[in-house]
Chain A
Amino acid sequence: QKEVEQNSGPLSVPEGAIASLNCTYSDRGSQSFFWYRQYSGKSPELIMSIYSNGDKEDGRFTAQLNKASQYVSLLIRDSQPSDSATYLCAVNDQAGTALIFGKGTTLSVSS
């Protein structure tokens, strides 16, 4: 059974701080990793994808991947109240088409 684990939170940070979100996955064959943002009652919105070990930056977001440790993280710099949402880690292996989601980490950014 392929599993994706996330700390459910809530993670509370003040406006302007760095938010750090973590995810571990069980399937060592996993090849593709994604972070989605989901506002309450809305659908998942893709914010980052990462396929290789190391860091990938896009604006205020940085995704980090360590396949040896089976660990993916998302850093949000200069956090804004509008970043308050649930962040979903999703993993896909090369053999399958399915995305396996974690339960998500709820982030709360206070102004």
Chain B
Amino acid sequence: EPEVTQTPSHQVTQMGQEVILRCVPISNHLYFYWYRQILGQKVEFLVSFYNNEISEKSEIFDDQFSVERPDGSNFTLKIRSTKLEDSAMYFCASSELGPGNEQFFGPGTRLTVL
């Protein structure tokens, strides 16, 4: 069964450094998303992406964050100048159809900022 994959599974970085989290969405899916979950808290929407542009972003997704689809398979989240409070699980999701349809999540990347 097709699934969303994410790399790395765990990323440790120093405060102020830049990190890139990578995702390979399900191959026939056209809509891509990033969510994060701080330990013990709810899953929070960051951004959605369709047709090579951002469809929607939350208040969390400020200038520190950016997304890109560098090729036909990868979808990346870049976090510049990481802060301690960026430590969280970051989940990529994809959906075949647009707004309101089922989203399938990858296994996540645990980001630890020291």
Size bracket of the A interface = 20 to 34
**Given B35, B48, B100, B106, which contacts A94 in the complex, CB threshold below 8 Å?**
B100
Contact B45 A98 (CB under 8 A): yes
> When the two chains form the complex, which single residue of B45, B98, B106 contacts A99, counting CB atoms closer than 8 Å?
B45
Q: Per-position contact with B for A71-111: 1 when CB-CB < 8 Å, else 0? A: 00000000000000000101011111111111110000000
User: Could you say which of A15-23, A39-47, A59-67 contacts chain B?
Assistant: A39-47
Question: Given A97-B33, A98-B56, A101-B42, are A31 and B106 also a contact pair (CB < 8 Å)?
Answer: no
Chain A CB within 8 A of B28 CB: no
Complex: A101 Cα to B98 Cα, angstroms: 18
Which residue of chain A lies nearest to B54 when distances are taken between CB atoms in the complex? A97
Q: Among residues 42 to 80 in chain B, which have CB atoms less than 8 Å away from a CB atom of chain A?
A: 42-45, 48, 50, 55-56, 58
A99 touches B42 (CB 8 A): no
Residues of B within 8 A of A45 (CB): 105
Total A-B residue contacts, Cβ distance less than 8 Å: 61
- For the complex, give the distance between the alpha carbons of A54 and B34 in Å: 31
A25 contacts the other chain (Cβ, under 8 Å)?
no
A21-41 near B? 1/0 per residue, CB < 8 Å: 000000000011010100000
Q: Which residue of A lies closest to B6 (CB)?
A: A43
Bound-state CA distance A4–B58 (Å) is 16
Partner of B56, one of A34, A51, A96, A103: A96
Chain A residues with Cβ under 8 A from B55's Cβ? 97
On A, residues with C-beta under 8 Å from B are: 31-32, 34, 36, 42-46, 49, 51, 88, 90, 92-104
